[in-house]
Amino acid sequence: MTATTDGTGAAEPRAAEAGHSTTVLPRTEAAGEPPKAREAAERAAARAVDHLLAHQDERGWWKGDLETNVTMDAEDLLLRQFLGVGDEKTTEAAARFIRSRQRPDGTWATFHGGPAELSATIEAYVALRLAGDAPDAAHMAAASAWIREQGGIAAARVFTRIWLALFGWWKWEDLPELPPEIMYLPKRAPLNLYDFGQWARQTIVPLTIVSALRPVRPAPFALDELHTDPRRPNPPRPLAPATTWDGLFQRLDKALHLYHRFPVGPLRRAALNSAARWIIERQENDGCWGGIQPPAVYSVIALHLLGYDLDHPVLREGLASLDRFAIWYEDAEGRPVRMIEACQSPVWDTCLAAVALVDAGLRPDHPALVKAADWMLDEQVVRSGDWAVQRPGLTPGGWSFEFHNDNYPDIDDTAEVVLALRRVDHPQPRRVEAAVERAARWTLGMQSKNGAWGAFDADNTSKLPNKLPFCDFGEVIDPPSADVTAHVVEMLAVLGMEHHPRTRRGIEWLLAEQEECGAWFGRWGVNYVYGTGSVLPALVAAGLPASHPAVRRAVAWLEAVQNADGGWGEDLRSYRDPEWIGRGASTASQTAWALLALLAAGEREGAAVERGVAFLARTQAEDGSWDEPHFTGTGFPWDFSINYHLYRQVFPLTALGRYLHGEPFTAERRAG
């Protein structure tokens, strides 16, 4: 779809830099390489370079749409209803998007081609009712019938029932309790605030306020049609044995409900104030919280409940920031449609685009690359954030995923930005080297005790938060992962630190994490194809020979799961069902990840690589892009899936470039 955003969204296409085709470096040809395959790859890469350059913003960054599921859009409408700030144009445009994602059976899924999902279907249904869709309309009746078959509202996730409780459609007493007094648990105490991952932490703090105050804004209609028995809409849930974690936390929840009825007044008031202060201190300069939509939504509600009116600067800026998550476009009939992004990914998209362009042969001093490097350098985070709770003496120097997010730089973005900066010939090399040195020092300091790296925090590995009844909305901790660790190892190798003790510990951890089949688990991309596509290039860059047993096992696995059409694909269901591991419709991004791994392992002239390259060349559109409706990214594996609209452009171009030119294009290769 063609999309525009308000302020800082996807850039409109613009003309590519004049004469860029003359600044592409000559390819390196391999003996015995099939001429037709090489020519097809060269044509595809040239078109992809043109396409990517044409979509760079004039300020230097790239950003593709970040598509998730309709719960973002439904909850945005519910928020506007709760605050009384809805308008007809926004409601109608959002409703069109929600309807466009409804499946023929009346349900909604959380990813393209995925199974129907109860909570998403309930939230979409309620949003459409707010938009005026009649409950007896065919599409609505089909949805409500399916919801009842699945157990109705009572079977939905906690977050869905919290939204319904705000309007009196569910009882607050029948929701898990999480009191604001959690703010006072010391760092060493179980279930303290910093046991949660940063995304969960930012969501939980405002929700403790909402849970404590239990507001109800009367709904404009009832939802009897979404209950299996409207006379008993809140059926009791069975109590698990006390000897199980579920049973233990159910009993703890009962105790917390009792405390809610008889709280220690001064302590409760102080905890609410502390939670509000914590929220306000973490509001970003653009008015948002952490650059992601869900914490911003709940923070606005929480502060409003504490008496902040909508004209207060904190709430005014917070609401304005939410509008910047909106992607507006027109449907086939020319009517406005509005999609909400859960997050925006300009830093991630820009560093990946820069890597792709240089690896494809664009000269590293090309104006587009210098402009991208300038923008990335300006985005480096040089002040402390929540990560410093675990690493209090560490000098900052990372990069965040989003436009504005100084509290939560992440290790994955930092590693990839460094890899991008080292590929660019910048007119101020000392400036680049200073930024890279800060980044490397910060990244080394964020290593966890086991030798690996998580995304946002070090040693965020407690298993207890995931067991809370309140936390059924996806992963709420941030343990080290193979893909993030691999990107760090690759970064350190490019910086000449492949023999550094911390790098070697990361390599040892990666080797120990290899699955029996030869693949690696993918935390932030789907799934084993992504993990393997991240790890193999890193291990080879760090000095492992292509003959190493771990490398050969991974190559054998990738060759075994290649699809008949020459591509690779893996369905999100692989996170729950082992039968789906390495299986799924071929996609451009996943094919590229497999090719990056095979090329790193020395398989450039192999049949699998030739077939994969042919798939990319064959499926490319005339404008140099690839179509990819499938979701190949994750926020939480399975529970929250992402379609990064730029993945289908940057990763195939990177793979084609490395096929044509050999190893990744580093400063050392240029000097040689």
Distance from the first to the final alpha carbon of the chain: 43
Distance CA 369, CA 358 (A): 8
Using alpha carbons, list the distances in angstroms from residue 18 to 15, 42, 338, 367.
8, 20, 34, 10
Nearest to 368 by CA among 9, 23, 3: 23
From the list 410, 412, 457, 483, the catalytic residue is: 412
Distance CA 271, CA 269 (A): 5
Distance CA 480, CA 456 (A): 10
Distance CA 24, CA 46 (A): 9
Between CA 519 and CA 4, with CA 618 as vertex, the angle to 5 degrees is 85
Residue with tokens 């703890």: 252
Distance CA 167, CA 171 (A): 10
Nearest to 45 by CA among 670, 662, 649: 649
Question: Which residues, other chains included, contact 581 with Cβ-Cβ below 8 Å and sequence gap of 6+?
Answer: 517, 519, 527, 528, 561, 570, 574
Residue with tokens 């930012």: 202
The sign one gets for the Cα dihedral 665, 667, 670, 672 is negative
Distance CA 391, CA 446 (A): 7
Element spanning 337, H or E: strand 336-340
Question: If you ran DSSP here, which 8-state letter would residue 236 be given?
Answer: P
Nearest to 507 by CA among 516, 495, 498: 498
Reply yes or no on whether 412 is catalytic. Answer: yes
Kindly list the catalytic residues. Answer: 412
